Amino acid sequence: MEIQDILKYLQIVRKWWWVIALLFVTTVGTMLALALLTETQYEATVTVQVSAPPPQEVPLYSQFGRQALRDEIEQTRSSFKEFLEEGDVPYRVLETLPDIQMRGGELRDRITIDLPDNSQLMRVHVRAPDSKTAALLANTLVETGLKLYGQLLAKPTVNTRKFIEGELEVARQELKSAEDKLTQFQIANKIGNLNSAINSQYDLIRSLQIQRDLARAEGGTIKAQAIEETILEREAELQNLIGLSAEYNELADRVERARTTYNFLLDKRAEAQIKENQILELGSIQIITPARPPKKPVATLNSKLIVLGAVGSLLAGVLLTFLLEYLEISGVFRSFQKRSEESDMIPLTQHAR
């Protein structure tokens, strides 16, 4: 590019300098006016750490494998972020803080959540007209969100616990019914534990047989005969007890099965209650740094943005001057002016006629 070309370009810029100045002043003035007229805002930040979430279900039979820890953390961060931004947490916060005159949708627009890459942290930002309100809203937002998010995560466990409690009541009634029938059987037949009664009867008969044999050896025929009659009675009782074994074992097995089922469900209910409490506590998401009232307001417009706007307006102004110079040289302005004058002369001619 020769010096003459550069001087020519400078002459064009000098000729149309007012266009560049007008565009520059309009752009920068508009940006500064917006910055001055915009309400002062303070931004408070709560830092939250996310770890692996607790199990949300109580397995009745087996525990299946879970995803990788990193994936769980990332999924929890994304889910909690979406829950704060899209859920009704802002409305619940304002119900908790009735003195703050703000609508739920307005508070939602003031929330910004950052998820740093390769990190377990979350930063929840909330803006408000004053610093104390910003800190109060940020802390209340996260605390309310944690509580509601914990309740949401606990729903599957709560439903499982309620199901287990229903089954537990059925098992309790079944156990009581089985125990009542076994007790009635024992009372009707005047026995406690049938197997123990049978073993005792065996031992008694064996003892009587020894006494009978000793009586016979000593020549006590009458005594031996009496003992023999007693043995026959005991054997009859033994046969009767053995005859009751099938029914007794069936009733005892029913009681044992019912008790096993009841104890199993009892353990599962305790496990479900523990996991429910664990999820409600939401130990996987913890507040690391609560929000504090910020000392300085948030800059409405970044100085870099103003500089960028100023430079952009200057460049646009220069390009516009070249365009205007081209239009003037090519005669576009003169032809447009001539057509305008002709259009103005036509009504005057018709009026003269």
pLDDT per position as a tens digit, 216-254 = 777 777 887 887 788 788 778 778 777 778 888 888 899
What are the helix and strand counts (H, E) for the chain? 11, 4
pLDDT band at 340 (very low <50, low <70, confident <90, very high): low
For the cut 80, the answer to whether the pLDDT of residue 65 exceeds it is no
How does pLDDT run across 101-140, given as a tens digit for each residue?
888 888 998 899 999 988 889 999 999 988 999 999 999 9
Predicted local confidence at residue 348, as pLDDT: 44
The residue extents of the domains of the chain are: 164-278, 299-329
* Separation between Cα atoms, residue 165 and residue 154, nearest integer Å: 16
Return all residues near 243 (Cβ < 8 A) that are at least 6 apart.
Answer: none
Q: pTM of this prediction?
A: 0.57
> Is 194 or 207 the better-scoring residue by pLDDT?
207
Q: What is the pLDDT of residue 291?
A: 92
Q: What is the mean pLDDT of residues 90-101?
A: 90
- Under 8 Å between Cβ of 233 and 121: no
| Identity at 236, one-letter amino acid code | A
Compute CA distances 186 → 251, 255, 331, whole Å.
Answer: 10, 13, 122
C-alpha angle with apex 158: 157 to 160, nearest 5 degrees? 60
Contact call for residues 212 and 231 (beta carbons, < 8 A): yes
Is there a contact between 47 and 286 (Cβ–Cβ < 8 Å)?
no
pLDDT of residue 122: 92
User: pLDDT category, 352, cuts 50, 70, 90?
Assistant: very low
